[in-house]
Structure 1
Amino acid sequence: MQKKIIIIGAGFGGLTSAKHLADSDFDITVIDKTNHHLFQPLLYQVATAALSPSDIAVPIRSLLSNYKNIKVILEEVVSIDKHNRAVQLKNSTLNYDYLIVAVGSRHSYFGNNDWEELAPGLKTLTDALVIREKIIEALELAEIENNIDLRRKYLTFVIVGGGPTGVELAGAIAEIAKETMIKDYKNFRPDDTKIILIEATDRILSSFDKKLSEQAKEDLEKMGVEVKLNTKVENISDEGVYTTQGFIPSKTIIWAAGNQASPLLKSLDAETDRAGRIIVNKDCSLPGNPEVFIIGDAAHFRDENGKVLPAVAQVAIQQGKFVTGIIKNEIQIEKRPVFKYKDKGTMATIGKAKAVAEIKGLKLTGLIAWLTWSFVHIFFLIGFRNRLRVMIEWIWYYLTKRHGTRLIVGK
């Protein structure tokens, strides 16, 4: 009888797993609550009107339609019964022989979930569109506002969190507010806008080399971004942000300060870290259940040096390939190899022709880092059409300094 594999989540890890199991002797079901695979590294460009949603998202069915042994289900998984090897959906139950959990993560407000409405995070296409409209609407409201204090609130953009997402958002918003969209407004000048990046630690991009962090900070400040280090958020209201360094009046606040794992993982009743990620075995399996694998942002995995692997696409992709090798060969738990992550480098873009990158000990900044970042992201985009469209959009923006997707449609 054909064995059944269920893959929960069609992000980088889940999609990689599905493709490596395609045309095998297994019956594979991919379950996701959205109908598209999302290229998350470029999500901030949708949020800042540089790209449209279709440029970085592809329907899951179209990616897997040529594989006869793969079925795609658009539904949300409610819980996982590891004892009976069953996945509970909203309207049905599916049994499995092997399970791959690749559910990703969401932004964390560290127990202050009521802040989400005032300070949206960036993890999904919906998040990106909410932020995009929030930014554009702030400029529109500032255009018709004659009260100087209120106009200043609309023109103050606060980004909480100095990781790659926060840095990329700050740089992109600075380009919008200081250089590109600002030309279309008559009631205020570029100098009237203020972009503030808040970071609780002593430097931004803490996972990068210290010199690269300092270079990124310097680049942001040259673009007009005010970087506040050693500053923690104490509260957020519709009037602004309360921090340990004082109150910042603002109507546009964006959250990029932390991640938490999917609540679904709680149903596995396993040991987790503070972010809710499951602490997995060296083969990425769930302790006590060798037929269940947790990969990507959902897994807490320590390498041979005791360092927890970062929540980046390359980790999910490599783990996806690794666990499918175990499943294909049906390797017993005592004979399984240890997963070893090959770090291909980290990079973050700050603005046009500005980026930082660390690749196998090589530290890059400026134009060279930006070109490297651009080529890597174009290469990993799924589908020739997406690569071509994004490349054209980037060339157009580089030459004209004009953003293409500047619509407010949510109202």
Structure 2
Amino acid sequence: MDHRARLVIVGAGFAGASLVRNLPAALRRPGATLLIDRAERHPFIPLVHEVVSGRVHPESLLSPLEPLCRGRCGFLRAEVEGVDLERHTLHTSDGRSIGYETLVLTPGSVPAAPPGHLEGHVRTFWSLEDALWLRDELARRWEDARRGGAVPPSVAIVGGGATGVELAAEVASLFSHLRRLVGRKPDPLPKVHLIEGEHRLLGWLSPYFHSVAVEELQRMGVEVRLGHFVDEADPEGVRAGGEKIPAPVKIWTAGVEASPLVRALPGEHDGMGRVRVSGNLTLPHHPEVYVLGDSALCEAPNHGTLPPTASVAVQQGPYVARDLGRRQRRIKRPPFRFFDRGYVVGLGPGNAVAEALGIRMRGPAAQALYRSILLYYMRSREGRLLTLSDWTLDPVLGRLGFSSSSA
């Protein structure tokens, strides 16, 4: 055994970070609690689509883990590759074995891979690295078009969940911005195609989100294709619904899966690979192991199966902190209760759609709520200031990574 801690937390995402911030006093010290994550700086994933359009600098979204851990827990930069539940041991990518008394698994999710016949032609979109790749790809193609008179390429986005909708709106706003720089309307216009296999966008939210998203995306020039599955893809585009769609840039946003670490755990798993947990968010036959966030298949009274969202994860972390304290004091442990504060989805600069505490909003008011929520959940004061500066200076400085010279 290379290291042992009373409490080991795997993953510093929304659930893991909120747990660390709320640790009970007996566990709030480096010798008692250990946080393991594969990175020393954590990206704020809900805003990576704004990196694509150059409205937010990537450094603004990176928060170091050291301030989070200082005075609260130890930190080990490593990938956890396996869990030995019988020996209470974790196996890490650097060969070390980590022992635990209590384990909290919140490794997050990974993008669902496209079908085999599409691999090599579409790129998944989930991480900051994906956002930087897409920004650079669009910037390169824009520069080629600006110099040679060609038209910037159309983009096909496959998947109409929150990621796909927000990315489609952001790329459409970018194309509009670039067309204004040129001062003329290229022919043909570059397009954004949003392709969804079901007959509505944002299917896990109320129909209000779908209707507003379709209306606003179409107003921005996005071609929304519902009830279409992508059958083929090649360097020039995709085929969906029997129609060839020219789009040299193809992005896959059709769902997420639990991490391989969680999919390997014993127990009941759903189609995403999430493992079912008890009312206290623990594995049914291993009460010393909690599973949170995108990894947990969790049922909540009056809500059913909870979705893999940040709004769920940020409530689970503090709950586990309280539950750990109750276990130490040997007092009654009520089950996790989810409070539905509502949801908000961004629709490009100055626009969003929201339903919060029974109130529906769209447009600038929803965008103000959207930004305030995101700033609140960012980890560092520096990150909030930098992101707010990015938003404020966007109309003045233009889009990061894209030439402001006209063709």
Q: Secondary structure at the match of 2:279?
A: coil
The aligned residue for residue 167 of structure 2 is 169
Contact 2:343–2:355 (Cα < 8 Å) also in 1: yes
Specify the alignment match of 1:192 in structure 2: 189
Residues 270 and 20 of structure 1, relative CA distance in 2, 3 Å threshold: same
1:340 correspondence with 2:337: yes
Q: Closer, same or farther in 2 for the Cα pair 1:155/1:186, shift >3 Å?
A: farther
d(CA) in 2 for partners of 1:13 and 1:105? Answer: 12
Distance of 2:343 and 2:126 partners within structure 1 = 19
Deviation by residue 1:135-161 (Cα, 9 ceiling, x = unmatched): 222323334557xxxx56x52111111
The question of whether the paired residues in 1 share the 8 Å contact of 2:326 and 2:332 is answered with: no
Equivalent residue number for residue 246 of structure 2: 249
Which SS does the other structure have where 1:275 is aligned? coil
2:99 corresponds to which of 95, 116, 139: 95
Match of 2:52 among 36, 44, 47: 47
AA aligned to 1:244 is G
Structure 1 residues 182-227: Cα deviation after superposition (integer angstroms, max 9, x where no partner): 4455897286211111111112122333233212211111111111
- Offset of residue 230 of structure 1: 0.8
Contact 1:100 1:292 (C-alpha < 8 Å) held by counterparts: yes
Alpha-carbon distance between aligned partners in 2 of 1:81 and 1:190, rounded to the nearest angstrom: 60
| Partner residue in 2 for 1:10 | 12
Verify the 8 A CA contact 2:274 2:296 in the aligned structure 1.
Answer: yes
Say whether 1:371 aligns with 2:368: yes
Alignment of 1:278-317 (within 5 A): 278-305=275-302, 307-317=304-314
1:138-153 matched pairs, under 5 angstroms:
138-143=141-146
Distance 1:336 1:22 in 2: 15
Question: Any gaps of 5 or more consecutive residues in structure 2?
Answer: none
What is the SS of the residue equivalent to 2:254? coil
1:200 touches 1:229 (CA, 8 Å); kept in 2? yes
Partner secondary structure for residue 373 of structure 1? helix
1:32 aligned residue? 37
Give, as a single letter, the amino acid of the residue that structure 2 aligns with 1:213.
H
Task: Tell me the CA shift for residue 333 of structure 1.
Answer: 10
TM-score (norm 2): 0.90
Inter-CA distance 285–348: structure 2 relative to 1 (3 Å threshold): same
* Identical aligned residues as a percent: 29
Distance in 2 of aligned mates of 1:118 and 1:268? 32
Q: Please list, as runs of the form range in 1=range in 2, the aligned pairs for 1:178-327 lying within 5 A after superposition.
A: 178=176, 180-184=177-181, 189=186, 192-305=189-302, 307-327=304-324
**1:201 aligned counterpart, secondary structure:** coil
* Offset at residue 117 of structure 1 (A): 4.4
Could you tell me which residue of structure 2 aligns to residue 383 of structure 1?
380
Q: Deviations over 1:249-271 (max 9, x none)?
A: 22111111111110111332222
Retained in 2: the 8 A contact 1:181–1:403? no
Kindly provide the amino acid, as one letter, of the partner of residue 94 in structure 1.
I
For the aligned residue pairs, the C-alpha RMSD in angstroms reads: 2.4
- Contact 1:163–1:206 under 8 Å retained in 2: yes
Match of 1:130 in 2: 133
Aligned residues: 396
SS in 1 for 2:345: strand
Length-normalised TM-score, structure 1: 0.89
Distance 1:172 1:3 in 2: 44
Q: How far did residue 328 of structure 1 move?
A: 2.4
Q: How many Å apart are 1:14 and its aligned residue?
A: 0.7
State the alpha-carbon separation in 2 of the partners of residues 341 and 297 from structure 1.
15
Shift of 1:244: 2.4
CA distance in 1, matches of 2:115, 2:33: 37
Whole-Å Cα distance in 1 between the matches of residues 69 and 331 of structure 2? 33
Q: Which runs of 5+ in 1 are unaligned?
A: none
Aligned twin of 2:326 = 329
Q: 1:77 aligns with which of 44, 65, 80?
A: 80
